[in-house]
Amino acid sequence: MSGSLQLAPLLRRYGTFLGFLLIVSFFWSQRPDTFMTTRNWLNITQQVSILCVISFTMTLVMVGGDFDLSVGSMASLSGMIAAVLWQQDVSLFGALGTALLVGAFGGVFNGVLVAYAGLSAFVATLGTLTIFSGLALLVSNGKTIFGRAIPEIVGDFSRGGFPLAEEIQLPNLTLIGILVLILMGIVLQHTVFGRNLHAVGGNREASMLAGVPVARLRLIAFAVNGVGAAIAGLMLVSRLSSANPTQGDGLMLNAIASVFVGMTMSEEGEPNLFGTLTGVLILGVLSNGLTQLRIDTYVQQILTGLIIIAAVLFSRLSLRRR
């Protein structure tokens, strides 16, 4: 009896992670030669790295009790701005810096609308989603920028990496994902800002009464998320060696889905980085494994959606039972 009591919270906490391990074991058993190889896992980490960055900074916003629909179009916009600047012979770092600044500015704009003007995060970021997406189309005239306009080093960056062994390297994009994970981990767990942000997300009124600068914290979280989206946009340009005014748009839903899946891995249902990472990996491993199993791509989409719902439902039910 006492054994089952101890097992229940563990299952609640790590049920989703267990699900992830089950998915991995299933693909491993089905594709023993190709799935559980270093090469494939490095591929997977590279494939999810862009989503990782955007989801980790999204976790920050969601810890504060908000969310941001504009990240995908911000990724498109910042990538497009860098590409347009390169096309006009602006230096490599000049363009990268400008793109990151645009991300920060867009994030601050979101933050002002939500934290100071009092708009709901849904409405405000839905509005800025449309604005950023229009701006991306405007600066690019709707066209894709590719070829010589993108500096060679940008495309080469995503093909390069930190050598691990002969012919095996930790991809640069994966490295960026890990760096952002560590950085966000430090910010959320080991700074006053992070602890206060958790308080804001937990109970906004109480935090305000306790003297926590609620509006400022929410604004900063949005600003960081804007920069995260810009980094993701630039990573996308590197991976595709081209910039397209809509190429980041799909990131938003997956980022929010990853954070939601991750929330099932906390006792109180709070967003947390380890959970988000698990969420991202579930999405990445499903795409990779189902492709290797030659499952129809439309069926893949349905399965992915069902698994997200199942994860959240499972955690909801186990919370209710508590």
Partner 1 sequence: MRQNLFIFTGILLLALPQFLFAQSRTVAVLTPFLAQPGTQLMVEGFEAAAKSKGWQVDVIDTSGDVAALVSRMEDVALQKVDAMVINVDPSQIRNGLLAAKDAGIPVFGMDSGADPLLTANVTSNGYVMAAETATYVVDQLNGKGNVVMFIFEPYPPVQKRGAIAESIFNNEPDIKIMEKITPSFDRGPLEGARNAMEAVLTANPKKGSIQSVWAAWDDPALGAEQAIRDAGRENEGIVIVGIDATEQARDRIAARGNLKATVAQDFTGIANTVANTVEQYLKSGSVSRSQIYVSAKLVTADDL
**Token pair 């988000």 is at which residue?**
276
With respect to partner 1, which residue has the nearer C-beta, 266 or 287?
287
Calculate the CA dihedral of residues 104, 106, 108, 111 and round it to 10 degrees.
-140
Residues 192, 187: Cα–Cα separation, whole Å: 8
In the bound complex, what is the minimum distance in angstroms from residue 137's beta carbon to partner 1?
8
Q: Which residues bind partner 1 (CB under 8 A)?
A: 34, 37, 39-40, 43, 46-47, 50, 141-144, 146-147, 155, 158-159, 236, 239-242, 244, 246-247, 250, 287-288, 291-292, 294, 296-298, 301
In the bound complex, what is the minimum distance in angstroms from residue 240's beta carbon to partner 1?
5
CB-CB contact of 284 with 307 (8 Å): no
In the bound complex, what is the minimum distance in angstroms from residue 105's beta carbon to partner 1?
24
With respect to partner 1, which residue has the nearer C-beta, 47 or 272?
47
With respect to partner 1, which residue has the nearer C-beta, 90 or 240?
240
CB-CB contact of 104 with 223 (8 Å): yes
In the bound complex, what is the minimum distance in angstroms from residue 251's beta carbon to partner 1?
9
Q: Which two tokens stand for residue 23?
A: 């998915």
In the bound complex, what is the minimum distance in angstroms from residue 25's beta carbon to partner 1?
18
With respect to partner 1, which residue has the nearer C-beta, 51 or 104?
51
CB-CB contact of 235 with 176 (8 Å): yes
Burial call 246-270: b when 16+ CB within 10 Å, e when fewer: bbbbebbebbbbbbbbbbbbeeeeb
With respect to partner 1, which residue has the nearer C-beta, 46 or 128?
46
